[in-house]
């Protein structure tokens, strides 16, 4: 009775929109924070379940624990947004809180070790991803329902910036909690999830009216299968294959990508003939909707994988050169990346507020141009840069994506009829979430190409002059570059880990001290890494400039005012 009375009071409150904003912001923050908190905690997690993350057989587990959450989220958000339109956005959102919390609790209680423990973690992470997808697919639609037209940009800006900020704050949270136990990386989500679940069930309400409709099961299955195969193929493309440093020649990779593309083409053809499709292709007849989603995808591609590259730059090169041990670098990399979050927090709500008055185009377009400039500034930094210069560029980068994200989201959501907001939010989230794994596949491939040209010779020479037998030096110099990248990324001293006690015990103490010092690996990999980074940054600049063009082509300020019949005949 108390809960029912409280809920009725909230429904009648003129401040409901702020209740919706605060609750959905908590949900999005939790989902995005969880997606990155594992990055720093992976070494502790693998030690906890007794798996060496650098051994050849463990690389697949590493990829799926890291990428599985992103893949599941990208595949499901459209379907869950469509279900929100049909059965209630708040219902789907509330259920997402429950599923996410249950998945977090199950992951924290993982009981097995070795490969079985890794599989359990992967499965429980995917359960979390289902809940996270429900939250992401419906939060923007709930806010669009709750806020008037002249305040949606501000509200969606706060919501979107919480998602971006969560991706960086998660790195710090993961590093801090991992010092106590890897289980806390999952367990800390549980009380937040319980509070958010109770609060959402009590406080949130369905504003729009929903008409029951048939579920396009075949379309759902074909779309999920096609996108899953495509993203899986791209993800496995960075895994070494036989004697190749990458997996792009692997028949499995090529067949998955080809099958995924064919399935998505079949999906588009099929959806045009279905009476009640899950992926409403008519929405692409709205210029603001189409341009905003293209810009969002390209922005995610430009930003997503680069976050990993910058963390590797800090962990593998800059921090060791400045006296930090490899074991300390994951946490400190997160701390040194905080200026980006500051930029997000400043620009997001402000640009969202201004876009309510002037439209999305000037801010979203300007944000992408500024992002391209920030990437250009990173290209001219030396490998061992002064931190204040790096921090200023990070602030500019955070400001640029803050300027882009909230106006772009508001522009997309304002452009569609109210009854399509759930599926529109899901489609928007799909483009954004696809960008992350796509970006990682592209950026890692470009980086590995840049490293492979010069790293093997440098490593072979450095090892042999310090007494390492030529056979072992040859073997280590021909290891895929991704092995060294992930070693630094996971907080391991790469050469100390890869040489191992058996080799190191046979060398002179002075040679061991030199090879395993903090400075030696950064000196070997610094110049080749910068060469690869220039290639990656050049691609990111191109993606941002095309995103700026797409954003400009959206047109001026546009808020959908037509009835649904006009959309269906478009």
Rounded to 10 degrees, what is the CA torsion of 176, 179, 181, 183?
Answer: 30
Residue-wise burial string across 189-198, b where 16 or more C-beta atoms lie within 10 A, e elsewhere: bbebbeebbe
Yes or no: say if 133 and 35 are a contact pair by the CB < 8 Å rule: no
CA distance 108 to 103: 9
Digit-coded pLDDT (tens) for 463-493: 888 888 888 888 888 877 777 777 766 667 7
Distance (Å) of CA 107 to CA 52, 100, 176, 288: 19, 11, 18, 41
Name the burial class of residue 553, with classes exposed (0-12), middle (13-18) and buried (19+) by CB atoms within 10 angstroms of its CB.
Answer: middle
Nearest CA among 416, 441, 528 for reference residue 481 = 528
Cβ-defined contacts of 547-550 (< 8 Å, 24+): 547/294, 547/295, 547/296, 547/298, 547/299, 547/302, 547/368, 547/404, 548/295, 548/365, 548/366, 548/368, 548/369, 548/372, 550/291, 550/294, 550/295, 550/298
Where residue 13 falls among pLDDT bands split at 50, 70, 90? Answer: low
Question: pTM (2 decimals)?
Answer: 0.80
Average pLDDT, the chain: 82
At residue 244, φ and ψ (nearest 5 deg) are -85, 145
Among 175-184, 190-199, 319-328, top mean pLDDT goes to 190-199
- Residues shown for the chain: 570
Residue 517: Cβ within 10 Å count: 15
> Rounded distance, CA 96 to CA 27, Å?
9
Work out the end-to-end distance of the chain between its first and last CA atoms, rounded to an integer number of angstroms: 48
Return the pLDDT at 54: 64
> Which residues, listed in sequence order, are joined to residue 244 by a DSSP beta bridge?
241
Placement of tokens 């499709």 in the chain: 277
Greater confidence (307 vs 385) lies with 385
Residue 377 has pLDDT above 80, yes or no: yes
pLDDT digits (tens, 9 = 90+) for 481-530: 777 777 766 667 777 877 888 888 888 888 888 888 888 888 888 888 88
* Average pLDDT score over residue span 293-322: 86
User: Residue 399 in contact with residue 340, Cβ under 8 Å?
Assistant: no
- Alpha carbons 163 and 145: distance in angstroms, whole number: 20
Cβ 366 vs Cβ 374: under 8 Å: no
Higher pLDDT, 429 or 302: 302
Q: Is 219 exposed, middle or buried (0-12, 13-18, 19+ CB in 10 A)?
A: buried
Instruction: Return the minimum-mean-pLDDT range out of 61-65, 299-303, 402-406, 467-471.
Output: 61-65
Lowest mean pLDDT of 13-17, 391-395, 563-567, name the range: 563-567
> Chain centroid to CA 247: how far?
22
Q: In this structure, are residues 412 and 293 in contact, taking their beta carbons and an 8 Å threshold?
A: yes
Contacts with 116 (C-beta within 8 Å, 6 or more apart), sequence order: none
Question: What pLDDT score does 551 carry?
Answer: 92
Token pair 């029912």 in the structure block, residue: 4
Express each pLDDT in 529-548 by its tens digit: 888 888 889 999 999 999 99
One-character DSSP codes across 378-445: HHTS-SS--HHHHHHHHHHHHHHHHHHHHHHHHHHHHTS-GGGHHHHHHHHHHHHHHHHHHHHHHHHH
Does the pLDDT at position 330 exceed 80? no
* 378 neighbors 306 (Cβ within 8 angstroms): no
With b meaning 16 or more CB within 10 Å and e meaning fewer, what string describes 118-148? bebbbbbbbbbbbbbbbbbbbbbbbbbbbbe
Tell me which residue of 106, 557, 39 sits closest to 305, measured CA to CA: 39
Q: What is the pLDDT of residues 95-148, one digit of tens each?
A: 999 999 999 999 999 988 888 988 999 999 999 989 988 888 888 788 878 888
């Amino acid at each position: 009775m108390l809960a029912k009375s409280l809920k009725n009071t909230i429904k009648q409150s003129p401040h409901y929109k702020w209740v919706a904003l605060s609750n959905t912001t908590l949900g999005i923050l939790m989902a995005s924070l969880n997606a990155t908190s594992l990055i720093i905690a992976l070494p502790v997690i693998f030690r906890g379940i007794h798996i060496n993350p650098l051994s050849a057989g463990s690389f697949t587990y590493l990829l799926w624990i890291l990428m599985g959450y992103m893949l599941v989220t990208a595949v499901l958000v459209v379907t869950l947004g469509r279900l929100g339109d049909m059965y209630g956005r708040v219902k789907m959102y509330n259920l997402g809180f429950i599923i996410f919390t249950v998945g977090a609790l199950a992951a924290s209680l993982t009981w097995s070790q070795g490969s079985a423990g890794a599989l359990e973690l992967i499965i429980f992470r995917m359960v979390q991803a289902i809940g996270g997808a429900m939250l992401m697919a419906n939060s923007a639609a709930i806010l669009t329902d709750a806020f008037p037209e002249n305040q949606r940009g501000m509200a969606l800006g706060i919501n979107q910036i919480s998602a971006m900020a969560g991706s960086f704050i998660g790195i710090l949270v993961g590093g801090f909690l991992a010092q106590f136990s890897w289980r806390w990386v999952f367990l800390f989500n549980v009380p937040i999830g319980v509070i958010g679940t109770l609060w959402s069930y009590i406080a949130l309400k369905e504003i729009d009216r929903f008409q029951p409709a048939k579920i396009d099961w075949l379309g759902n299955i074909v779309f999920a299968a096609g996108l899953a195969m495509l993203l899986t193929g791209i993800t496995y493309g960075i895994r070494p294959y036989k004697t190749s440093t990458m997996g792009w020649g692997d028949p499995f990779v090529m067949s998955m990508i080809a099958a995924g593309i064919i399935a998505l083409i079949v999906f588009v053809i099929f959806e045009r003939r279905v009476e009640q499709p899950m992926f409403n292709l008519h929405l692409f007849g709205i210029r603001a909707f189409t341009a905003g989603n293209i810009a969002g995808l390209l922005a995610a591609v430009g930003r997503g994988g680069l976050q990993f590259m910058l963390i590797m730059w800090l962990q593998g090169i800059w921090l060791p050169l400045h006296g930090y041990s490899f074991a300390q670098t994951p946490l400190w990399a997160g701390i040194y990346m905080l200026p980006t979050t500051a930029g997000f927090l400043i620009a997001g709500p402000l640009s969202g507020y201004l876009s309510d008055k002037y439209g999305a185009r000037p801010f979203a377009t300007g944000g992408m141009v500024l992002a391209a400039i920030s990437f250009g500034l990173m290209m001219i930094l030396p490998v061992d840069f002064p931190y204040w210069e790096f921090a200023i560029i990070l602030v500019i980068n955070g400001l640029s994506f803050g300027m882009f994200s909230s106006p772009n989201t508001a522009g997309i959501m304002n452009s569609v009829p109210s009854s399509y907001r759930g599926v529109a939010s899901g489609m928007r989230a799909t483009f954004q979430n696809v960008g992350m794994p796509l970006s990682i596949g592209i950026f890692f491939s470009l980086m590995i190409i840049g490293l492979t040209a010069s790293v093997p010779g440098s490593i072979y020479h450095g090892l042999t002059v310090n007494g390492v037998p030529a056979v072992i030096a040859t073997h280590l110099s021909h290891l895929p570059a991704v092995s060294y990248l992930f070693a630094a990324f996971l907080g391991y001293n790469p050469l100390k880990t890869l040489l191992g006690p058996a080799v190191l015990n046979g060398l002179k103490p002075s040679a061991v001290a030199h090879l395993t010092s903090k400075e030696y690996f950064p000196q070997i990999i610094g110049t080749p890494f910068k060469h690869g980074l220039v290639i990656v940054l050049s691609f990111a600049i191109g993606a941002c400039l095309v995103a700026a063009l797409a954003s400009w082509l959206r047109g001026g300020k546009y808020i959908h005012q037509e009835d649904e019949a006009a959309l269906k005949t478009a």
